[in-house]
Amino acid sequence: MKALAPLVASLLFGLCSAVTAAPITLKVAHFLPPSSPGHKDVIQPWCEAIKADSDGQLQCQIYPAMQLGGTPAQLLNQVRDGVVDVVWTLPGYNPGMFPISEVFELPFMTTTAPASSRALWDFINDYAQAEFADVKLIAAWISGPYQIHTRKTAVRKLSDLAGLKIRAPSRLSTRLLSALGATPVGMPVPQITEALSKGVIDGAMAPWEVLPATKAHELTQYHTDVVKGRTLATSTMVLLMNPARYHSLSPELQAVIDKNSGATTSVWISEQFAQADAVGLQAAQERGNEIIYLTTTQTERWEAAALTVTEQWIQQMNQQHKGAELVKAARSLVDKYTKK
């Protein structure tokens, strides 16, 4: 029995060490302030979920508003290089890096955020896995529909956009604004406030949810949207994890990350943004701003003008892929989940 004592003590010490192992803290970074819906309603609850599901073994240190330095466009490299463990970012901030999944940013492609986000997740798994080969894709979703928010000019018809300098979030929205007659000015969300306040831009293309965090509803008077159905434009968003960090976790903790990843998580995130859109719209209404919904005829004119953006995208994709088939597949998936 005495000979077994050291072995028993060793086993007990190992067991106690495992039980009392220090929590693993993941560095989570994004580009918006702590007051934003993305921080409060998505990142924080996601972190709380993995903490609860891991009995406290997984925790987050969140760095909003690019607190670790760099620009929103550099978040992709930060998570690839392991500077941070998890990021929320927009693929559109890195033009050309996600050419296939970019199809969901084509004008008049998407419908509701939950349905289109479910479609996006399936589409990536069917056609665009290679674009995310060097990261772990936790979730992929679309923002709410984009409206055009203007300072001094009410946009009621296509010709009202002529010459207006409008913030564009991505290369496809840049092409769309040009096709509609506006002058696009590319910039990420955090720059909208200063650009509007200084008159660098006449308006911004953005979803309702970003208005309160950027104070854009205080800096604009008019908000123009198309009639219900397909959205004018949107952006794809992703939650990404450094793959080496993921694989460094125990199988049990990897399972916790997996539980909080995938199609269900993507749809849940999109629902939080949809709720935030309602809050942003209400904020604009409470200030007495004018909400303009285009007539069906005007919407059809905008859609006709935007066709060149889709056609150009198909032609460029045809150099390596079958662009028309990708558009057809994306629309089919959007229709599939919209009808449910």
- Write a three-state SS string for 46-63: HHHHHHHHCCCCEEEEEE
Residue 166 lies inside a defined structural domain of this protein: yes
Range of the domain at 177: 146-233+279-338
Instruction: Check whether residue 210 and residue 313 sit in a common domain.
Output: yes
Residue 267 sits at the vertex; the CA angle it makes with 75 and 82, to the nearest 5 degrees, is 25
Residue 100 lies inside a defined structural domain of this protein: no
- Cβ proximity of 123 and 104 under 8 Å: yes
Q: How far apart are CA 112 and CA 118, in angstroms?
A: 10
Instruction: Check whether residue 117 and residue 155 sit in a common domain.
Output: no
Output the tens digit of pLDDT for each of the chain's 340 residues: 444 444 444 444 444 444 557 999 999 999 999 999 999 999 999 999 999 999 999 999 999 999 999 999 999 999 999 999 999 999 999 999 999 999 999 999 999 999 999 999 999 999 999 999 999 999 999 999 999 999 999 999 999 999 999 999 999 999 999 999 999 999 999 999 999 999 999 999 999 999 999 999 999 999 999 987 899 999 999 999 999 999 999 999 999 999 999 999 999 999 999 999 999 999 999 999 999 999 999 999 999 999 999 999 999 999 889 999 999 999 999 999 998 6
Instruction: Check whether residue 295 and residue 152 sit in a common domain.
Output: yes
Residue 107 lies inside a defined structural domain of this protein: no
Provide the number of structural domains found in the chain: 2
Structure tokens at 76: 């992709």
Side-chain half-sphere exposure of 218, counting CA atoms within 13 A: 7
CATH number, domain of 126, equals 3.40.190.170
Residue 11 lies inside a defined structural domain of this protein: no
Please return the burial class of 312, using the count of CB atoms within 10 Å of its CB with bins 0-12, 13-18 and 19+: middle
Instruction: Check whether residue 76 and residue 219 sit in a common domain.
Output: no
Instruction: Check whether residue 137 and residue 161 sit in a common domain.
Output: no
Instruction: Check whether residue 270 and residue 285 sit in a common domain.
Output: no
Instruction: Check whether residue 155 and residue 227 sit in a common domain.
Output: yes
What pTM value is reported for the model?
Answer: 0.91
Instruction: Check whether residue 242 and residue 294 sit in a common domain.
Output: no
Instruction: Check whether residue 172 and residue 307 sit in a common domain.
Output: yes
